[in-house]
């Protein structure tokens, strides 16, 4: 059953108070259970606004300049249709490879999507959450914010659960293998627009897929807000490669709860690229539930100017014989800041766990700053868990040596930065992602300017 | 060199019950401090740990970070003791008709 009266052209007031929430609900055409869950989440959001954030996660992240009342949700799809395919956005991945399907969102609304006919015939679903939730309500209800991201975690997850606008859904049935990557583009176009997109990937037993997701702004000047969530649900022996490349302009706030759950012998390879945003904070959980589940998490970030890139990562080992391997490489320049708080948690049932986490930071200027805090919480007695973090400046002698061999300072710097990232690039099997990240780094360094 | 325009950030009347006010200049959190009938503006972020100076004690023209004790000169922004080694940003302030205007110095 759907909401009886839907007004997609209604104006939603700026901000995220009660009036904005009620106006937002009138623009939605969705099943009753969604409306009910939104109302519960909004109530929880209002309560959580009155309580302090978890200091372990937030004490190093300054949110005072984040003023929600400045941002506004887009009610209808008029703007998004005008810029179908997000063609105005400066994207890094689009048109760089062949994709089996794509979904594009502009200002939180679907602009376009398609999927190869042979995949649709096999039962694959790839589309916009706002649409799929109507057409496959039972499927979404079973998986949406039930196992991975919890709307009760903090004010941001509740905020997202109340106001999610759309997002990309990928459902791959049992034993269906998708060889060609799929592509999702999320763009912000309007000044002070808010995007609350939700990525939901469900892989049934033995299924396999690759999804490349990119966020981009259409201008360098517009303020924006992304309050997102990502849920990756892998059943037994499923294999997923998921890449999210965050490439907003430097005036966008990017806050996201992201979680993956992997069942028996499943394999999740998750790559996070962080280049843009004014402030980006990602709460990333990888939960290995089943025996022999594996996850490899790669992070590549490059912050310049006054950007802040913050990650709060958790590798949770619930099942026996599970393996996780996390490697984050972060480069900073100017007055930028990187914060990484990582935790490996092994539950009592997680015997024979093999957990690894590492964070390396390279500072290209003395005014940048890194806080890297690895951690272990182990409740099983037969595990192998290791972690480490390094932070340092570029060696002046290396630059001098390169320049003495005829390179310019930019070329030398690029070679050193590329070499720094190489160990994480080597772990990314999708060539277009490696090349795209490398191009983004060159651009960020100002090489060839 | 580009000098930004003054922005109206507060009124002197708002100081009636407090010696400091939290405001924004652009997206920068700024602390306005009334000291000896003058108003000063400093970036409200300790250069040591990147967190607010908002509730720091003020003694003889110096603000003391409430967490680790770093001290900053309110008039110049200069870091006066460890653990801070870098100055905090200061802002130019003008008071016209009891309204407080401020702009970035550099």
Distance from CA of B96 to the nearest CA of A (A): 26
Q: Which residues of B touch A337 (CB under 8 A)?
A: 50
Least CB-CB distance to A60: which of B22, B44, B50?
B50
CB–CB contact A60 B27 (8 Å): no
- Nearest residue in chain B measured CA to CA from A336: B50
Least CB-CB distance to A65: which of B27, B50, B86?
B27
Q: Which residues of A touch B44 (CB under 8 A)?
A: 64
Distance CA B77, CA B40 (A): 10
The residues of chain B scoring below 70 in pLDDT are 1-2, 106
The residues of chain A scoring below 70 in pLDDT are 1-10, 76-89, 447-449
Residue A448 burial (CB < 10 Å; 0-12/13-18/19+)?
Answer: exposed
Distance CA A421, CA A29 (A): 45
- Nearest residue in chain B measured CA to CA from A65: B27
- B6-35 core/surface letters (b: 16 or more CB in 10 A; e: else): bbebbebeebeeeebbebebeebbbbbbbe
Find the farthest-apart pair of alpha carbons in chain A and give their distance in angstroms, rounded.
73
Assign A35 to helix, strand or coil: helix
pLDDT in tens, A129-174: 999 999 999 999 999 999 999 999 999 999 999 999 999 999 999 9
Q: Which residues of B touch A58 (CB under 8 A)?
A: none
Q: Which residues of A touch B22 (CB under 8 A)?
A: 64
The reported pTM is 0.91
Distance CA A331, CA A393 (A): 10
- Nearest residue in chain B measured CA to CA from A279: B27
DSSP secondary structure code for residue B11 in this structure: E
Distance CA A290, CA A350 (A): 10
Q: Which residues of A touch B29 (CB under 8 A)?
A: 62, 64-65
Distance from CA of B39 to the nearest CA of A (A): 22
Q: What is the pLDDT of residue B2?
A: 65
CB–CB contact A60 B51 (8 Å): yes
Q: Tokens representing B92?
A: 């130019």
Tell me which of A64, A192, A224, A305 to substitute to probe the interface with B (most B C-beta atoms closer than 10 Å).
A64
N residues, chain B: 106
Chain A interface residues facing chain B, Cβ-Cβ under 8 Å?
59-60, 62, 64-65, 278, 337, 367, 369
Distance from CA of A251 to the nearest CA of B (A): 10
Distance CA A229, CA A351 (A): 30
Q: What is the pLDDT of residue A286?
A: 98
CB–CB contact A65 B29 (8 Å): yes
Yes or no: say if B102 and B93 are a contact pair by the CB < 8 Å rule: yes
Distance from CA of B49 to the nearest CA of A (A): 8
Q: Tokens representing A163?
A: 């106001």
Beta strands in A84-166 (DSSP E): 101-106, 109-115, 125-128
Distance CA A18, CA A226 (A): 20
Q: What is the pLDDT of residue A205?
A: 98
N residues, chain A: 449
Distance from CA of A415 to the nearest CA of B (A): 31
Q: What is the pLDDT of residue A156?
A: 97
Yes or no: say if A271 and A326 are a contact pair by the CB < 8 Å rule: no
- Nearest residue in chain B measured CA to CA from A67: B27
CB–CB contact B52 A64 (8 Å): yes
Quote ipTM for the complex: 0.79
Q: What is the pLDDT of residue A3?
A: 44
pLDDT in tens, A218-240: 998 899 999 999 999 999 999 99
Yes or no: say if A107 and A188 are a contact pair by the CB < 8 Å rule: yes
Q: Tokens representing A361?
A: 């930071």
DSSP secondary structure code for residue A306 in this structure: T
Distance CA A11, CA A7 (A): 9
Distance from CA of B95 to the nearest CA of A (A): 24
């Amino acid at each position: 059953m759907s909401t009886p009266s839907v007004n997609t052209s209604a104006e939603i007031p700026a901000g995220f108070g009660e009036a904005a929430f009620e106006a937002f609900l009138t623009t939605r055409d969705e099943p009753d259970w969604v409306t009910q869950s939104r109302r519960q989440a909004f109530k929880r959001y209002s309560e959580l606004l009155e309580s302090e954030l978890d200091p372990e996660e937030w004490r190093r992240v300054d949110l005072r300049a984040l003023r929600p009342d400045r941002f506004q949700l887009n009610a209808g799809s008029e703007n998004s249709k005008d810029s179908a395919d997000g063609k105005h956005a400066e994207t890094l991945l689009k048109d760089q490879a062949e994709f089996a399907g794509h979904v594009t969102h502009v200002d939180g609304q679907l602009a376009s999507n398609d999927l190869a006919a042979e995949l649709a015939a096999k039962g694959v679903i790839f589309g916009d959450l706002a649409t799929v939730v109507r057409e496959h309500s039972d499927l979404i209800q079973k998986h949406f914010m039930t196992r991975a991201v919890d709307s009760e975690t903090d004010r941001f997850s509740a905020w997202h659960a109340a106001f999610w606008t759309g997002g990309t859904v990928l459902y791959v049935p049992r034993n269906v293998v998708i060889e060609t990557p799929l592509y999702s583009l999320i763009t912000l176009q309007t000044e002070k627009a808010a995007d609350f997109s939700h990525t939901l990937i469900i892989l049934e037993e033995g299924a396999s897929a690759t999804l490349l997701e990119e966020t981009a702004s259409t201008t360098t000047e517009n303020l924006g807000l992304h309050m997102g969530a990502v849920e990756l649900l892998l059943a037994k022996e499923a294999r997923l490669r998921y890449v999210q490349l965050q490439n907003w302009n430097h005036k966008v706030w990017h806050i996201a709860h992201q979680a993956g759950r992997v069942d028996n012998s499943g394999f999740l390879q998750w790559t996070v690229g962080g280049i843009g945003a004014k402030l980006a904070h990602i709460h990333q959980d990888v939960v290995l539930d089943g025996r022999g589940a594996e996850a490899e998490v790669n992070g590549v970030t490059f912050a310049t100017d006054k950007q802040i890139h913050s990650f709060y990562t958790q590798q949770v080992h619930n099942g026996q014989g599970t393996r996780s391997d996390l490697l984050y490489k972060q480069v900073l320049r100017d007055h930028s800041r990187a914060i990484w708080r990582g935790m490996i948690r092994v539950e009592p049932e997680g015997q024979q766990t093999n957990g690894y986490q590492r964070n390396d930071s390279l500072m290209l200027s003395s005014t940048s700053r890194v806080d890297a805090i690895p951690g272990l919480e182990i409740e099983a007695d037969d595990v192998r868990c290791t972690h480490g973090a390094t932070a340092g400046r570029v060696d002046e002698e290396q630059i001098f040596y390169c320049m003495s061999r005829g390179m310019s300072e930019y070329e030398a710097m690029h070679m050193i930065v590329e070499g720094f990232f190489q160990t994480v690039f080597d772990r990314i099997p999708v060539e277009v992602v490696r090349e795209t990240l490398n191009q983004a780094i060159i651009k960020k360094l100002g090489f060839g300017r | 060199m580009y000098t930004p325009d003054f922005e109206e950030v507060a009124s002197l009347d708002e100081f009636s019950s407090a010696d400091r006010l939290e405001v924004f200049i652009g997206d920068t959190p700024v602390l306005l401090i009334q000291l000896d009938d003058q108003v000063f503006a400093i970036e409200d972020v300790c250069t040591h740990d990147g967190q607010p100076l908002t509730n720091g004690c003020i003694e003889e023209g110096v603000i003391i970070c409430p967490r680790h004790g770093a001290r900053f000169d309110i008039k110049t922004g200069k870091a006066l003791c460890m653990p801070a080694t870098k100055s905090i940003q200061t802002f130019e302030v003008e008071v016209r008709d009891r309204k407080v205007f401020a702009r970035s110095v550099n």
